Structure 1
Amino acid sequence: MHLFRLARLTLPGLAVGFIAGVLAGGLAAFVGQPAGWALVSALTLGVPLGLLGAGYTMLLINGKIRLGGFAPAAAYWLIGFPLARMLHEVLTRLVLTGQPGLPPDPLGFLAYQGIVSAGFAIGFLWLHERVAPRYWQRLAAHDPDARDVYLRYAEHARAMFEAAERRKAARGRKPSARTSVR
């Protein structure tokens, strides 16, 4: 797979991760930090989260991570999110003070970020699962790799829908009006 095509396929993860980091910069500005500080915060967190998001998507499109699964996303972000936050802390301190430095209790910082990573994984996965399939559907007409990934998502959605319908029928509930996923 060519580098350009791979980059194009991983764009959803890159975008979701980058936007999450940029939102952190927006929050810094919202609470009254100077604009330069907020910009540094947005970039020093947005770039690592964007690259990690692209990495997650790359694992997904290569079949290394199960579609729609929280556990693989949580495991990925349990490592990735604390590392991105540590890089954010070090780079922000470097840019703003001229000297790199770790947080006062690096292990405690990483442990806390590991706890927070579960929430980030939920948000990342939720947004990624809504953006990526639609994006790959648009690319599918002219990119066979995007078509393959999109068809895997469509098959997964169909299987999930049919399993839910079987559970409803087993409990005596009326199935949905739709008989299959489009």
Structure 2
Amino acid sequence: MGVQVSPRTSGALLHHAEVAVPGAAIGLVAGLFAAGVGALAGLPALLNTTVGAALGLPLALLGAGYCVLLARGVFSVGAVAPLALYWLVGFPLARLFDSYAVALVFGNDTVLREPLLSFLTLQAMLSFGFTIGFLWLHERIAPHWLLRVRGHNPVAAELVERYMEHAEHLNRRRASRRRPPTAPS
């Protein structure tokens, strides 16, 4: 006996999945980038493929998760600190999954060359750089995607409105900085 999904629920799931596309794409590209760096370094093709998939898939899932949480209002548009906390946990876990996958594919008994806590601490530090890169890419890709799909996707349409409000807020702040101070009378 399967779970029954109403048309309204399945539509909402599809709308959220469509909103998640930019974050998932960024995660997949990050995995492909890691595989490309490995290829340039002369690493074996199997290792590059494993790294690309084992790093790209968790990053894609986490990126998609961010987009869904953003659409649901958990994250504010352009907010760095909450996203940094998200990736502070997510990025080290993705890297740990990647390390386990590489060890599994190559039949290694040793997954990490350093203690687990050291590995996770280093990955947590690296996560801040990933956060900035992810947010920078997301803020350039997602609005274009959302504008494209908002006509048939109410979740995307609502998120476009939040992006517009954020842009208006930033424009007001910039304009207030440009105004010359008024002289006292």
Confirm or deny a common fold (TM above 0.5). Answer: yes
Is the aligned partner of 1:145 residue 2:158?
no
Partner of 2:66: 56
SS of corresponding position for 1:32: coil
Determine if the alignment matches structure 1 residue 125 to structure 2 residue 135.
yes
1:175 aligned residue: none
Q: Count how many residue pairs are aligned between Structure 1 and Structure 2.
A: 172
Contact persistence 1:89–1:103 (CA under 8 A): no
Kept in 2, the 8 Å contact 1:59–1:65? The answer is yes
**CA 1:31/1:23 → structure 2, altered by over 3 Å: closer, same or farther?**
same
Please report how far the alpha carbon of residue 101 of structure 1 lies from its aligned counterpart in structure 2 after TM superposition: 3.0
CA contact (8 A) 2:15 2:154 kept: no
CA distance in 1, matches of 2:170, 2:101: 43
Cα deviation for residue 21 of structure 1 reads 1.4
Q: How far has the Cα of 1:40 moved from its partner?
A: 0.8
Match of 1:168 among 162, 172, 178: 178
Aligned residue in 1 for 2:18 = 8
Query: Does 2:18 correspond to 1:34?
Result: no
Kindly state the Cα deviation for residue 170 of structure 1 after the two structures are TM-superposed: 4.4
TM-score, normalised via structure 1 length: 0.89
Q: Which has the larger radius of gyration?
A: 2
* Maintained 8 Å contact 1:17/1:53: yes
- Structure 2 Cα separation of the partners of residues 145 and 61 of structure 1: 7
Q: Which amino acid aligns with 2:141?
A: V
| 1:81-120: CA deviation from partner (whole Å, max 9, x where unpaired) | 0010011001111012265734431110000000000000
Contact 1:18 / 1:50 at 8 angstroms: preserved in 2? yes
Which one scores higher on RCO, CA 8 angstroms, separation ≥ 6?
2
Which of the residues 31, 47, 66 maps onto 1:21? 31
Q: TM-score, normalised by structure 2?
A: 0.88
Q: Identity over aligned residues, as a percent?
A: 41
Question: What stretches of structure 1 of length at least 5 have no aligned partner?
Answer: 173-182
